[in-house]
Structure 1
Amino acid sequence: MLYIIQILAAILMGTAIGAIIEPRNKVLTIGSFVAVGFGIATLIWPSWLMLSIGTVIFLAVQSLQRDPVATRA
């Protein structure tokens, strides 16, 4: 079970690093760094709690980062 938690933490870290590489705004960058931190902590101390907190933070900042779409008439 610990390996599954660590694999999910690695996936979380990979997606968060992908969001850091192409930052769109400051909130997304900070939230992605926090998610990477929780992912590293989960790799060191496998815990569902840290993994779920990191995932919730990452998904929350992903939902906030959408830029308004310019529409053409």
Structure 2
Amino acid sequence: MTKHEPVLPLWLCEECGRPWPCAPRRAELLDGRDRVRVAYYLSLCLTSAGQDMSWAPADALRRRFLGWLP
């Protein structure tokens, strides 16, 4: 089980303190998982993060949550 989970409402990693999803969590998410399911999960997270961080630019959040997917 990962310790790289988000701390809400700022969506920071509880393990390393970086913006979530951090690099270790990204690697875990992609490890052997269906990329469509990962994208769907992250889209749900993006929606929640957008509500929690309404002050953040929408494009920055999109890049943070989905822009790194291959």
What TM-score does the superposition give when structure 1 sets the normalisation length? 0.35
More strand by share: 2
Which structure has the highest helix share of the two? 1
Bigger relative CO (Cα 8 Å, ≥ 6 apart) = 1
